[in-house]
A = this chain, B = another copy of it.
């Protein structure tokens, strides 16, 4: 029965029971963490073979004769561009292999636009106003980059098919100060939502007022399916932009951080030849080249894209029960109470939870007091400010299944308590 349909008396009694249960759980002195999108130890163990593929007897020479141990190959070795090309569904020629962090590539991309402009347009540092569209809820580290550069952030609501495209189209067409939009198009952070075909098609057909408007397409979870038989497919954005006559509209980012080792993977950017030429002007000033030995290590470890797909099935086998456990717990504990909604993603690293208005902060605080750390409420909004205070990001990957069960139960309990308190207050007002 929905809490808001319960009588004051019944809801009061319920709340009393919940509080008892909360005290009981507090006494367990839990120390659990559902805050970070980190792979768990079993996932990391899947890639230990990376440490074996190269040894001192290995030939570290590429097919084209490049000695991976020495300087050179600014945009990456051919073998890595091919593998990552298959991973990103892009032509290897449209790919630059970077260092270990796609976040760093995104930072660098914003920074370059800020200092030097895009394709001959005015550097953003010379403009009075620069803004980005920020689909919300979204990824806090994206928003942190734009905030760091003093770029205004305009929230755009997410829908089950992606950002509200009516709003996106209208805003970019009207406002020349809007220079970009942050997108996690597949298994989004935090909702696990994948953009629909229509959304991608409309993105590729945007008519921005700003010539230097770019879509920052962070396809972080392109390979991260939870199921073999149910997978989201995304229209490849570079190709769609090209077909739509908008070839230069997108910077696309990806990495192997959550495929092999976070921090020791390889990151990449895919974009049009025009954008690529623009970026190379900077890249050759910035570095002589990225870590080719690590590129070769990844290529030899996976062999080819099929090897990577098989590897991702092993990740899925570890993660699937965790997602299902959290979803099952929420269904059991919150299913018919009308105290929140959540997503049931088919991949990615997160589940998005929407509480009743004004409850998210309090729920997270209550979790904390009973030993369960959640991502701070508000983190999914620009400046950390969620105006309705409803969005909570659940990260089920890192804890063990056992810990996750305890943490999910506690989370649901906190949702119930805070929601009941709110509804009761409203009934009494």
Residues of A within 8 A of B (CB): 36, 38-39, 41, 44, 47-49, 51-52, 54-56, 58, 60, 67-72, 99-101, 103-104, 107, 111, 114-116, 123, 125-126, 141, 144-145, 148-149, 261-264, 282, 285-294
Extra contacts, 17 of them, besides A99-B290, A100-B291 (Cβ < 8 A), are A49-B56, A51-B60, A52-B55, A69-B262, A69-B264, A71-B262, A101-B288, A103-B286, A103-B287, A107-B285, A107-B286, A114-B115, A125-B125, A262-B288, A263-B289, A263-B292, A264-B293
Q: Given A48-B56, A55-B51, check contact A101 B287 (CB 8 Å).
A: yes
Say which residue of B123, B141, B261 sits within 8 Å of A293 (CB atoms). B261
Q: Which of A48, A69, A100, A125 has the most CB of B within 10 A?
A: A69
A218 CB, nearest partner CB in chain B, Å: 14
**Chain B residues near A51 (CB, 8 Å)?**
54-56, 58, 60
Q: Which of A71, A148, A290 has the most CB of B within 10 A?
A: A71
A37's closest neighbor in chain B, by CB? B71
**Chain B residues near A282 (CB, 8 Å)?**
148
10 contacts between A and B (CB under 8 A): A41-B67, A51-B56, A69-B264, A70-B263, A72-B263, A100-B291, A101-B289, A101-B290, A115-B115, A148-B282
Say which residue of B55, B71, B107 sits within 8 Å of A287 (CB atoms). B107
Report the bound CA distance from A51 to B59 in whole Å: 11
Q: Given A41-B67, A44-B70, A100-B99, check contact A263 B285 (CB 8 Å).
A: no
Q: Given A55-B52, A56-B48, check contact A70 B104 (CB 8 Å).
A: no
**Chain B residues near A36 (CB, 8 Å)?**
71
**Chain B residues near A101 (CB, 8 Å)?**
287-290
Q: Which of A52, A56, A282 has the most CB of B within 10 A?
A: A56
| Inter-subunit contact B261/A69 (CB<8 Å) | yes
**Chain B residues near A104 (CB, 8 Å)?**
286-287
Q: How many copies does the complex hold?
A: 2
Q: Given A291-B100, A294-B291, check contact A261 B114 (CB 8 Å).
A: no
Report the bound CA distance from A63 to B69 in whole Å: 29
| Inter-subunit contact A69/B44 (CB<8 Å) | yes
**Chain B residues near A52 (CB, 8 Å)?**
55-56
Report the bound CA distance from A293 to B264 in whole Å: 6
| Inter-subunit contact A290/B100 (CB<8 Å) | yes
Report the bound CA distance from A39 to B39 in whole Å: 38
Report the bound CA distance from A101 to B285 in whole Å: 12
A388 CB, nearest partner CB in chain B, Å: 26
Q: Given A101-B288, A107-B286, check contact A263 B293 (CB 8 Å).
A: yes
**Chain B residues near A294 (CB, 8 Å)?**
264, 291, 294
| Inter-subunit contact A148/B285 (CB<8 Å) | yes
A147's closest neighbor in chain B, by CB? B285
Report the bound CA distance from A370 to B48 in whole Å: 51
**Chain B residues near A69 (CB, 8 Å)?**
44, 47, 261-264
Say which residue of B72, B114, B264 sits within 8 Å of A292 (CB atoms). B264
**Chain B residues near A149 (CB, 8 Å)?**
115
**Chain B residues near A125 (CB, 8 Å)?**
114-115, 123, 125-126
A36's closest neighbor in chain B, by CB? B71
| Inter-subunit contact B286/A263 (CB<8 Å) | no
A294 CB, nearest partner CB in chain B, Å: 7
| Inter-subunit contact B99/A291 (CB<8 Å) | yes
A145 CB, nearest partner CB in chain B, Å: 6
Report the bound CA distance from A320 to B102 in whole Å: 41
Report the bound CA distance from A123 to B150 in whole Å: 12
Say which residue of B70, B115, B141, B148 sits within 8 Å of A39 (CB atoms). B70
Report the bound CA distance from A99 to B290 in whole Å: 9
